[in-house]
Structure 1
Amino acid sequence: MSATELHIPHTPAATRQGLAARIWKSRIDYLFLVPGLLIFGAFIVWPLIASEYYSLLNWTGFGAAKKFVGLQNYRELLQDEFFLNAFKRSFLFTLATVPLQMFISLVFAILLNNKLLKLSTLFRTMIFLPVVTPVVVIAIVIALMLSPFNGPINGLLLDAGLFERAVDFLGSPQLVLWTLAGVFVWKWTGVTLIYWLAALQTVPEELYEAAKLDGVKTWQVTVFVVLPIIAPFAVVIGLISAIAALNVFPLIQSTTQGGPFFASEVMEVFIFRIAFAPSGGMVPQLGYASAAGVLFGLAVMILTIFQIVAVRRARRKDPANG
Structure 2
Amino acid sequence: MAAISHILERGAEGATLGQRIWKSRIDYLFLIPGMLVFGAFIFWPMIASFYYSTLDWTGFGAHSEFIGLANYAELLNDEFFYSAFKRSFLFMLATVPFQMIVGLMLAIVLNNKFLKLATVFRAMIFLPVVSPVAVIAIVMVLMLSPFNGPINGFLIETHLVSRAVDLLGSPQMVLWTLAGIFVWKWTGITLVYWLAALQTVPDELYEAAKLDGVKTWQVIMHIVLPIVAPFAVVIGLISAISALNVFPLIQATTQGGPFFSSEVMEVYIFRTAFAPSSGQFPRLGYASAAGVIFGLSIMALTILQVIAVRRVRRKEAENV
TM-score class normalised by the smaller sequence: over 0.9
**Distance in 2 (alpha carbons) for counterparts of 1:320 and 1:218:** 29
Of the three residues 277, 280, 283, the one matched with 1:282 is 280
Of the three residues 302, 308, 311, the one matched with 2:309 is 311
Does 2:100 correspond to 1:102? yes
In structure 2, the partner of 1:59 is 57
Does 2:220 correspond to 1:219? no
CA deviation profile, 1:158-209 (whole Å, cap 9, x unmatched): 0000111100011110010000000000000011001111111111111111
In structure 2, the partner of 1:132 is 130
* Greater than 6 Å deviation, 4+ residue runs: none
Does 2:242 correspond to 1:244? yes
In structure 1, the partner of 2:19 is 18
- Structure 2 matches for 1:19-38, cutoff 5 A? 19=20, 21-24=22-25, 26=26, 29-38=27-36
* Kept after mapping to 2: 8 A contact 1:113/1:200: yes
Give, in angstroms, the shift of residue 41 of structure 1.
Answer: 1.1
C-alpha RMSD of the superposition: 1.9
CA deviation profile, 1:265-292 (whole Å, cap 9, x unmatched): 0000000000011112210000000000
Of the three residues 86, 89, 96, the one matched with 1:88 is 86
Give, in angstroms, the shift of residue 64 of structure 1.
Answer: 1.5
**Distance in 2 (alpha carbons) for counterparts of 1:256 and 1:19:** 54
In structure 1, the partner of 2:190 is 192
Question: Residue 162 of structure 1 aligns to which amino acid in structure 2?
Answer: L
**Distance in 2 (alpha carbons) for counterparts of 1:115 and 1:35:** 41
In structure 1, the partner of 2:268 is 270
What is the percent sequence identity of the aligned residues?
A: 72
* Kept after mapping to 2: 8 A contact 1:177/1:264: yes
Give, in angstroms, the shift of residue 23 of structure 1.
Answer: 4.6
**Distance in 2 (alpha carbons) for counterparts of 1:275 and 1:39:** 25
In structure 2, the partner of 1:257 is 255
Give, in angstroms, the shift of residue 40 of structure 1.
Answer: 1.3
**Distance in 2 (alpha carbons) for counterparts of 1:289 and 1:59:** 10
Give, in angstroms, the shift of residue 233 of structure 1.
Answer: 1.0
Change (3 A) 1:315 1:66: same
**Distance in 1 (alpha carbons) for counterparts of 2:312 and 2:10:** 41
- Structure 2 matches for 1:34-183, cutoff 5 A? 34-183=32-181
Give, in angstroms, the shift of residue 9 of structure 1.
Answer: 11
**Distance in 2 (alpha carbons) for counterparts of 1:10 and 1:108:** 52
* Kept after mapping to 2: 8 A contact 1:140/1:255: yes
**Distance in 2 (alpha carbons) for counterparts of 1:185 and 1:177:** 12
How many residue pairs get matched?
A: 312
**TM-score when scaled to structure 1?**
0.93
* Kept after mapping to 2: 8 A contact 1:146/1:170: yes
* Kept after mapping to 2: 8 A contact 1:61/1:285: yes
Give, in angstroms, the shift of residue 82 of structure 1.
Answer: 0.3
Give, in angstroms, the shift of residue 16 of structure 1.
Answer: 5.5
Change (3 A) 1:17 1:240: closer
Give, in angstroms, the shift of residue 38 of structure 1.
Answer: 1.8
Give, in angstroms, the shift of residue 39 of structure 1.
Answer: 1.6
Report SS of the residue matched to 1:98.
helix
- Structure 2 matches for 1:4-15, cutoff 5 A? 15=16
**Distance in 2 (alpha carbons) for counterparts of 1:42 and 1:228:** 42
**Distance in 1 (alpha carbons) for counterparts of 2:41 and 2:19:** 33
Q: Which runs of 5+ in 1 are unaligned?
A: 1-6
Change (3 A) 1:317 1:154: same
Question: Residue 176 of structure 1 aligns to which amino acid in structure 2?
Answer: V
Question: Residue 163 of structure 1 aligns to which amino acid in structure 2?
Answer: V
